[in-house]
Amino acid sequence: MPALKGHAVEVTVGDMGPGMVSRPNGRVPNGGSGGHGMGVMSLRATPSSVPAGVVSLQVANAGALLHEVVVLPLPTGQAAGERPTGGDGRVEEGGTLGEASRSCGEGAGEGIAPGAMAWTTVSLPPGRYELVCNFPGHYLAGMHAELDVTR
C-alpha cells in the first residue's frame, strides 16, 4: 500500500462467513440484526475521531465475504445504524464523500476481497460521518460506524 496522506483511520470489516445466519428464533448471535439472511458483521474504525482536513481510510477485510466502505455525512440527531434501508437492504448513497471498494487499490471497485486491503483519501470538514458497507443486507447486519471529525 502506498504512503497515504493526512490523518489515518484504520478500518476493519468482517463477517462470520456465509454459513453464519440467524437462529430459529430470528435472532443472530451477540445481538446483531442479521438482515437478509446475514450473520453478525462488523465495521470498526480506529481512531473514531480525527481532526478536520485530509483523512485516509485504510480498510482491511478480515471476513469471508466481499465488503466496501462508503463515507456518508451523518444527519443531526441520527446515530450510526439508523438510516432507512430499501427492499434490497441498502442505504441511499446520495451525498457520498468517498468509497474504498477496490481490492488492493484506491477508490471505488467491485468490493474488497477477503484478506485484501483498500483505501481512499477524502477531505472532511468538522462534523459527524457514517462509514458503511452498502452491499445488500450488510448495513442491517451491523456494518456501520461513526467517524467524528473535529475542528
Q: Is 77 helix (H, G, I), strand (E, B) or coil?
A: coil
Task: For 38-62, write each residue's pLDDT tens digit.
Answer: 668 999 999 999 999 999 999 999 9
Query: Does the pLDDT of residue 28 top 90, yes or no?
Result: no
Question: Is the residue at 2 inside a domain?
Answer: no
pTM of this structure:
0.87
Question: Is the residue at 32 inside a domain?
Answer: yes
Q: What is the pLDDT of residue 27?
A: 35
Spatial contact of 102 and 70, defined as CB atoms under 8 Å apart: no
Question: Is the residue at 27 inside a domain?
Answer: yes
Query: What is the total count of domains within the chain?
Result: 1
Question: Is the residue at 49 inside a domain?
Answer: yes
- Please list, in sequence order, all residues whose beta carbon lies within 8 angstroms of the beta carbon of residue 69, skipping any fewer than 6 positions away: 11, 13, 43, 57, 59, 99, 100, 101, 112, 118, 120, 131, 132, 133
Domain of residue 97: give its range. Answer: 7-150
Question: Is the residue at 124 inside a domain?
Answer: yes
Q: What is the mean predicted confidence (pLDDT) over 59-85?
A: 97
Question: Is the residue at 13 inside a domain?
Answer: yes
Question: Is the residue at 83 inside a domain?
Answer: yes
Task: For 7-20, write each residue's pLDDT tens digit.
Answer: 999 999 999 866 54
Question: Is the residue at 1 inside a domain?
Answer: no
CATH of the domain at 27: 2.60.40.420
